[in-house]
Amino acid sequence: MCIYPKTTAKLPVNFKNKRILKRLKIDQIEKSNKSEEAFKRLVRTIKYSTIKLMSLIIDWLFPRRCFGCGKGDKYLCNLCEEKLKNGALVRKDQFEGIISIYKYDGLIKKIVEKMKYEFVSDSINELAKLMDKKLKLNYPNIVEYWQKEKFVLMAIPLYKHRKNWRGFNQSEILAEKLADALNLKCKNNILFRNIETINQATIKNRQKRQKNIENVFAINSKEAITKKIILVDDVVTSGATMTAALKILKGSGVEFLWGLSLCGVLK
């Protein structure tokens, strides 16, 4: 297909050259954008293939068993899943709402521990599927609203050393898997954690929790900011981490903010 208009032949030589150069420049930029996208796709494919391969090896070495009863071939069998207590939807600060799918209690507490500290990253896929199922079941109108308004999911980031040590951020994987299931976009590059903090779950005092998390987040890329965001975390206890992220995001132009967690204690 000819990319230059036929009229080019009648134009002065210099003008023609300028147009050709401009077109060549645009072609080059388009090509480099395309190759950058292809490279990112390749990195993503390698990342997920590696995770898949690792989980296949882990499955072979340690066959999958239910975290609750030790039976079956899933991390959470249907019987144990039914025993989990429902979480809640709460209004807090300037959040449109914070949804915790399950109550942070009993078995789910054990599951989160396993997921975080025993490196059972593959269990996150199952948990994301459960979250998707429960969201559509318990909050269909909210899911519909998120889809209609094109909300973007974003995980609460981990401090980079902690992420490197663990090899993954469970909330990032949850956000990515959930975004796929809900047919929404996921952007985990907006926010980063610039200070390492003590694990919020280990601090009992509410004020100390707030102090621990203040000013730990910073914006990574202002261009990536969208006006409608769903913040995803695995556990929400006092909500201090979510509120700290809210402050910086609201100050950077985010207008509508939801919180979403696998489990929590807010009510």
CA distance 143 to 135: 7
Cβ neighbours of 264 (radius 10 Å): 28
Report whether 263 contacts 99 (CB < 8 A).
Answer: no
CB of 181 to Zn ion, least distance (A): 22
Report whether 232 contacts 171 (CB < 8 A).
Answer: yes
**By C-beta, is 84 or 230 nearer to Zn ion?**
84
CB of 201 to Zn ion, least distance (A): 24
**By C-beta, is 66 or 191 nearer to Zn ion?**
66
Which residues contact Zn ion by CB under 5 A?
Answer: 66, 68-69, 77, 80
**By C-beta, is 68 or 157 nearer to Zn ion?**
68
Helix residue spans in 62-169 (DSSP H)? 78-83, 106-117, 123-138, 140-148, 160-166
Report whether 191 contacts 217 (CB < 8 A).
Answer: yes
Cross-strand bridge partners of residue 228: 256
CB of 58 to Zn ion, least distance (A): 19
**By C-beta, is 110 or 227 nearer to Zn ion?**
110
CB of 123 to Zn ion, least distance (A): 13
**By C-beta, is 84 or 213 nearer to Zn ion?**
84
Phi, psi at 231, each rounded to 5°: -80, 130
CB of 138 to Zn ion, least distance (A): 22
